[in-house]
Homo-oligomer: A and B are copies of this chain.
Amino acid sequence: MVTTALEWLPGGGVTSPAGWRAGAVDAGIKGYGDEPRRDLAILASDTPCTGAGVFTRNAITGAAVSLTRERLANRVAQALVVNSGNANTVTGAQGEHDARRMTALAAEHIGIEPEAMLLASTGVIGRPMPMELVERGIAAITLSPDGGHDFSRAIMTTDSAEKQHAVRFTAAGHRYTVGGVAKGSGMIHPNMATCFCFLTTDAPVEPQWLRSTLRAVADVSINMIDVDMDTSTSDTMLLLANGAGGGEPVAAAHPAAGALHAALEAVAVALARDLARDGEGARTLIEVVVQGAASREDARRAARTVSSSPLVKTMITGRDPNWGRVLMAVGRSGAAVDERTTSVWIGDHCTLDRGTPADVDLTQVSAAMSGDEVGIRVDLGRGDETATAWGCDLTADYVRINAEYTT
């Protein structure tokens, strides 16, 4: 699909595409720790956008998820207000009221329609949003084309590093940029594993193609990572396209469709890898490629089961080339598996060759597992379908981070 060259922009992010600005403040919502840290931010386009979202499948959702879902259904979107420190979840009617008021305040502050302001909240659950702090904070936010960095800092919680990427490409005679930012897929101090991923572009995009493309992109990026299998009540992925780059709206038959899809996928996959690598306590990124599956669903299921298996994760922690654990995980994934056609590679080393343990020097394989990224490849020998999933090793630090917090 990709024939257009993608140019990665060093230090780029959500405000790299034309017509995007952002800003953030320390509103005091997090309310702990000594140093001031940003916890409230706005990301805005200068003009109205086409927008789409993918949300948590958890049956319990925060007020922000309901509100943002509703607004995207109305097909109006121009900006996003985000806070960390309070998830506004299990807060009842008061929570819904507060969510609407947050977006009204943010919209008024930057001068757009309230209905065009989206919302995402992460943090502690079951506690009312401190609206006085929110009101004061929003009033203090200044938007700037260089605000992507501040924005990415404001949505971080236990993340150890910022996660931002941007790519540029030329298609159909126009130069377009796609930017993205993400935050923490490990459990969020103090309550929830929340994953945010926000993508922006200056390409003009037809709404229906935007929605189906976002779903396809989510399925090969954010939906293929797993830090601890726990699904937050606030997981949110958004894509907003403002068209500032000019040209006709991109849809399926448009000459820029392939390049735009590839650019969105590249940024989303880069963010997904960042998220997996930065799982709580993680030292190693695990990339699992499953090939030779009878169906795409089988490939996805097998890849995700391997990348999220506690026994595979601890085998990576211990640099132990224990292919039996990989085979066990594939076997319990629900995919069609026959040990006689299954092969397993750890790094470049074949450890199981169509059901027969390979004659391999395990010391060498263990040495190949010492980097900060380990590849596992499984060929099921049953068909042509492939999928890639990412995870991280499970360390004593994960336990410490998640056990030591006291509500």
Contacts and interface: CB of A to CB of B under 8 A. Distances in A.
Contacts of A126: 323-324, 352, 357
Interface stretch (A30-38, A143-151, A164-172, A186-194): A186-194
Contacts of A187: 311
Given A231-B328, A407-B321, A357 B90 contact: yes
A339 B228 CA distance: 23
B92 A355 contact: yes
Contacts of A407: 320-322, 362
Interface in A332-369: 332, 335-340, 352, 355-357, 362, 366
Interface in A223-248: 228-233
Interface in A94-139: 124-127
Contacts of A366: 406
A93 to B, nearest CB: 10
Given A90-B324, A126-B323, A324-B126, A318 B191 contact: no
A399 interface: yes
A329 interface: yes
Given A90-B324, A126-B323, A192-B328, A310 B230 contact: yes
A60 B90 contact: no
A229 B405 contact: no
Nearest to A357: B126
Contacts of A231: 328, 331-332
B355 A59 contact: no
Contacts of A317: 399, 402-403
Given A228-B310, A324-B192, A332-B57, A402 B337 contact: no
27 contacts: A58-B331, A59-B330, A59-B332, A59-B335, A60-B337, A60-B339, A90-B352, A90-B355, A125-B328, A126-B324, A193-B328, A228-B310, A229-B309, A230-B329, A231-B331, A231-B332, A233-B328, A310-B402, A314-B399, A315-B403, A317-B399, A322-B407, A362-B407, A366-B406, A395-B403, A396-B396, A399-B399
